[in-house]
Structure 1
Amino acid sequence: MTSKEISLGIVKAVAILIANGLALFFLFKISTVLIYCIIAIVISLLLNPLVNFLKRKLKFKNTLAVITAILIAFLVISGFILLFVPLLLAQGKNLSLLDVTTLEKNYHILLQNITLFLDSYNVNTKQLIQSSKLSSFTTFEFIPNFINSFFSTLGNFSMGFASVLFITFFILKESESFYLKFKNILPDNQKEKILHSVKEINHLLSRYFLGLLLQLTIIMILYLVVFLIFGVENAIIIALLCAIFNIVPYVGPLIASVVAGLLVMTSGIGAGADFVNETLPTAIYVLIGMSLVQVIDNNFSSPLIFSKSTNSHPLEIFLIILMAGILFGITGMIIAVPFYTSLKVIGKEFFPENKVIKALTKNL
């Protein structure tokens, strides 16, 4: 091999690395759009049976069937949202009765007691707060920050909702056209394997989303039992809200606990209960009950449901979600199981003799 050939090889390798790096950077920059497309595809998979029913049984035209299906889904979602209106009105009324000065005083007393307790065990709370960047929580500075973050998230959600709705409409409307075009561009020697993979992925993802719905229903019922035991107002609505947060694995339950604690405390304030002796203990008991629900879900119901629906081992599911969360954050945790399941199907179809893939896909 001549020096010229070696130089050309090095230049070619560098060019390939740069091209791959630019491609990954481009995908990273448009990751939000990709997420919108993934969500739209999931919604399309869920609504496609309804669209087919409207076309076959009720003889709807394709466009009318798609619009009707999306409208029905929108009305169902709106109905769920309207369930929370009484809760928001009640909490708003409670907050209007809130004595901020007294609450802040109780809050500081609670922090002082915690500080004295930790100091008695030689724990430097000041250094701990500074190192963990929790100084804003020692005052009420976190409240305006939370409100600003909430409205910013609401704005992003509105834009995302409109984008997903638009993409979903055209995926459903042009699904047959997309399928034919997709089928025509496939190489003849791989066409059968690819189409079989797509069919199997659709089947497993449908089972996964049904399993997710079952998991959320179980969590909602268990939360409802906890809230009813401790006399929480609007127990059904709060249980539903907290169950929805569980869509995000591991992080969602923490958010649900914070939200439930805040709602319980504001309800107690609105009822005129003593904050230190009644409201705060009730909130603590509720959080303990929710923690027990999470123990049940994380160790029994969730692993069993997801392992059965995706034909994967519970430890396998846990590790995939954990790695996806470390690499891609909350979004990665949400899409980890569907994405991993799709990869397993593709691997089994195209690399059936690979020992690693064979071990991972033996139950598929």
Structure 2
Amino acid sequence: MKIHSPFRTALVATLGVGLGVLLLTGVQTLSTVILYIGTALFLSLGLDPLVTFLERRGLPRWAAVLLTILAVLSVFAAVILIVLPVFTDQITQLVARTTPLFVNGEQTVSDIKAWLTDAFPNLEVNLVFDYIDSWITSDQWTKSVTEWSTTIGEGVWVVGGAVLAGAFGAFIVLILTIYMTASTPSLKRAVYQLVPASRRERFIDIADQITDSVGHYVMGQVTLGVINGLLSMVYLSIIDAPFTAVLAVVAFFFSLIPLVGTLTGSTIIVLACLLPGVGSPGTALAAAIYYLIYMQVEAYFIAPRIMSRAVSVPGAVVVIAALSGGALLGLLGALIAIPVAASVLIIYRQVLIPRMNER
């Protein structure tokens, strides 16, 4: 290639590199916004089968979208109303147990001294407590307490900021989900118009398969979560497990996670049944046996029937997709990785392979 002007070539190359850096910087800056949009799009595709089902029953789309969103919000409100009272009750019990330790501090110290004297007759208990008292009143203790207080205060601010950011993000995702769910047909038509007319019909067919696959996958995963949650509620009530409602909610949410969700949730529930004072080894053993049986039934009978309308993904691809999605986007990445893999498989089977066979 003949170079007419080295300066012009260098300028064009520099501008190209600069444009690439600017584009990458913009994507990184807007990563949170892109994550919100991707989450809302994923949720809207998951809700679309339910909206379509209501439309087929004669409801206009706006009414179907409204009923679907209200149903989802009602479920989450019910979960909060179930978990929050139990959490508040446990905090109240903890405060009730620890308050007498501070109110009756002298009595508590006397009890500790008496127990140490009985347990270790040769130990100079008073000297030990005098050393502890002198260390507490020293400058080193004051400095340590100041550092701990500063660290705790910073941690509280960080946690508070994270909670507010999460609440704001959830609100943004909710608004975007409502908008995308209501305008899914018009958004599809707008995208389809960008495809040349000669290829539009084929593109629409593949795009509809992808969106239907994502929607059926999401609804199927939610159905599995509901089944696991309801059965857990019934069985845990029968064996008198602690915090039955909370553990049922744990079973529901962890069942939404593909591949390892049910196993992880079951492990947490079994460990919760071992908590001293509220659980027992017998209860934990009964819960472990139940979840071992349930996971087999879910894997071989329930899941195949519920997921029959979604695109089947080979086991190795499921593992790779879940690990890759989790590494890139955390829990959300693990959730959307499998439907994304299913979409790629559709394109591979119906676009790439036929083109290669034509050559």
Q: Aligned residues, how many?
A: 308
Q: Which moved more, 1:232-241 or 1:19-28?
A: 19-28
Residues 220 and 307 of structure 2 are in contact (CA less than 8 Å); yes or no, is this contact kept in structure 1? Answer: no
Which amino acid counterpart does residue 38 of structure 1 have in structure 2?
G
Instruction: Return the index of the structure with the highest Cα Rg.
Output: 2
Change (3 A) 1:222 1:252: same
| C-alpha distance in structure 2 between counterparts of 1:9 and 1:306, whole Å | 59
What displacement does 1:235 show? 2.0
What displacement does 1:178 show? 2.4
Gaps of 5+ in 2: 102-150
Residue 330 (structure 2) aligns with? 329
Change (3 A) 1:17 1:40: same
| C-alpha distance in structure 1 between counterparts of 2:93 and 2:305, whole Å | 39
Gaps of 5+ in 1: 102-141, 272-277, 358-364
Residue 165 (structure 2) aligns with? 156
| C-alpha distance in structure 2 between counterparts of 1:87 and 1:94, whole Å | 11
| C-alpha distance in structure 2 between counterparts of 1:226 and 1:262, whole Å | 16
Residues 254 and 261 of structure 2 are in contact (CA less than 8 Å); yes or no, is this contact kept in structure 1? Answer: yes
Residue 234 (structure 1) aligns with? 243
Q: Which moved more, 1:220-229 or 1:319-328?
A: 220-229
Residue 218 (structure 2) aligns with? 209
Change (3 A) 1:148 1:230: farther
Change (3 A) 1:322 1:299: farther
Residue 95 (structure 1) aligns with? 94
- Confirm or deny that 1:181 pairs with 2:162: no
Residues 219 and 297 of structure 1 are in contact (CA less than 8 Å); yes or no, is this contact kept in structure 2? Answer: no
| C-alpha distance in structure 1 between counterparts of 2:8 and 2:306, whole Å | 50
| Identical residues among aligned pairs (%) | 21
What displacement does 1:74 show? 1.6
Which amino acid counterpart does residue 336 of structure 1 have in structure 2?
A
Change (3 A) 1:303 1:27: farther
Q: Provide TM-score, normalisation by structure 2.
A: 0.64
What displacement does 1:33 show? 1.9
**Which one of the candidate residues 184, 192, 199 is aligned to 1:190?**
199
Q: Residues 222-257 of structure 1: CA distance to partner in whole angstroms, max 9, x if unpaired?
A: 755874576322324312223303434467568747
| C-alpha distance in structure 1 between counterparts of 2:294 and 2:11, whole Å | 54
Residue 344 (structure 1) aligns with? 345
What displacement does 1:44 show? 2.4
| C-alpha distance in structure 1 between counterparts of 2:274 and 2:98, whole Å | 13
Q: Provide TM-score, normalisation by structure 1.
A: 0.64
What displacement does 1:348 show? 3.3
Change (3 A) 1:303 1:51: closer
Residues 219 and 293 of structure 1 are in contact (CA less than 8 Å); yes or no, is this contact kept in structure 2? Answer: no
What displacement does 1:201 show? 0.7
| C-alpha distance in structure 1 between counterparts of 2:55 and 2:89, whole Å | 43
Which amino acid counterpart does residue 70 of structure 1 have in structure 2?
I
Change (3 A) 1:329 1:320: same
Residue 48 (structure 2) aligns with? 48
Residues 201 and 345 of structure 1 are in contact (CA less than 8 Å); yes or no, is this contact kept in structure 2? Answer: yes
Residues 247-286 of structure 1 aligned to structure 2 (within 5 Å):
247-249=256-258, 256=265, 260=269, 264=273, 268-269=276-277
| C-alpha distance in structure 2 between counterparts of 1:331 and 1:232, whole Å | 30
| C-alpha distance in structure 2 between counterparts of 1:251 and 1:160, whole Å | 26
Structure 2 SS opposite 1:310: coil
Which amino acid counterpart does residue 352 of structure 1 have in structure 2?
I
| C-alpha distance in structure 2 between counterparts of 1:305 and 1:339, whole Å | 21
Residue 311 (structure 2) aligns with? 310
Which amino acid counterpart does residue 199 of structure 1 have in structure 2?
D
Which amino acid counterpart does residue 221 of structure 2 have in structure 1?
L
Q: Residues 204-226 of structure 1: CA distance to partner in whole angstroms, max 9, x if unpaired?
A: 11331233134324544675587
| C-alpha distance in structure 2 between counterparts of 1:302 and 1:157, whole Å | 34
Residues 215 and 301 of structure 1 are in contact (CA less than 8 Å); yes or no, is this contact kept in structure 2? Answer: no
Which amino acid counterpart does residue 195 of structure 2 have in structure 1?
L
Residue 180 (structure 2) aligns with? 171
Residue 36 (structure 1) aligns with? 36
Residues 7-26 of structure 1 aligned to structure 2 (within 5 Å):
16=16, 19-26=19-26
